[in-house]
Amino acid sequence: MAVAGKRHDEVVTEDSAIDWARSDYDPYGRTKKFSEHMVQQLLPDVPTTIFRPAIVMGDSRRPETSQFDMVQAFDVLSRFPVLPLRPDDRIDIVPANYVGSAIVTIHQKNAPAHRIYHLSSGRASQSYREITDSLSAAGGWRRPTYLPSLSNPFAATVDRLAGRKGSVGHGASLLKVFWPYLEWNTVFDNSRIVSEMGEAPAKFSSYAYPLLKFSRENKFRYPSRPWPGEASTPLVARSSRA
């Protein structure tokens, strides 16, 4: 969704997402926009499909995940007793399993109805209040207080802390990257993909707590295990002769 540039309080459709008159949020977003532009200019006769995922976080079917950057940023915010956000703003989060299923479904169609799809929660995106109320109920902790007037001071503090080393600097650097997305109150219309899939993505609140609990318990690392016998069976380099 980074192609959309700087937006506030909007519902963005596929055909209105790229607006060259708008400022880009950062160079990352600019590369996405120019990539789409080059596809249109250099491959006009080649059938292409462009997928624009929103914030992809977790899997609605299970708590396990192997992608932790956004989860860590979310974890930092979930620990704050005061949040510098507007409680009724929405954030567009979509589970990875829906994104994967959508891409497979569209690729298997003989003639997709559209060339560009937003893989998002769209107008059904939940507000911060809905998400934090759900987490508080599941986790048994207090609901945060919302003070949107602290948004600018908070962003400035995060920017300063991002240069530090250690866990504080790491957490701040994650928030610095994602902060603009958190305060945009912008969602991306998903009616195209919902029509083709026949179903909408699961709400973030339905799996947010198990995802956060798994991530915290495993220190934001996937608990991978070696294949049976891997530790005791050395790799042997072999050469072949003609």
Q: What band does 236 get if pLDDT is binned at 50, 70 and 90?
A: low
Q: Tell me the Ramachandran region of residue 2: left when phi exceeds 0, alpha when psi lies from -120 to 50, beta otherwise.
A: alpha
Residue 171 structure tokens: 């957490």
Q: Is the per-residue pLDDT at 233 higher than 60? A: no
Q: Kindly list the distances between the CA atom of residue 108 and the CA atoms of 46, 55, 97, 232, in Å, as whole numbers in the listed order.
A: 17, 24, 17, 43
The more confidently predicted of residues 38 and 228 is 38
Q: Is the per-residue pLDDT at 241 higher than 50? A: no
Q: Kindly list the distances between the CA atom of residue 13 and the CA atoms of 51, 71, 187, in Å, as whole numbers in the listed order.
A: 13, 26, 9
Topology (CATH) of 2-217: Rossmann fold (3.40.50)
Could you give the CA distance from residue 181 to residue 124 in angstroms, rounded to a whole number? 17
**Strand-pair partners of 12:** 188
The region of weakest confidence among 39-48, 105-114, 132-141, 162-171 is 162-171
The ranges assigned to domains in the chain are 2-217
The more confidently predicted of residues 227 and 195 is 195
The region of weakest confidence among 13-27, 57-71, 171-185, 228-242 is 228-242
Query: What letter represents residue 12's amino acid?
Result: V
Judge whether 226 and 39 are in contact, CB under 8 Å: no
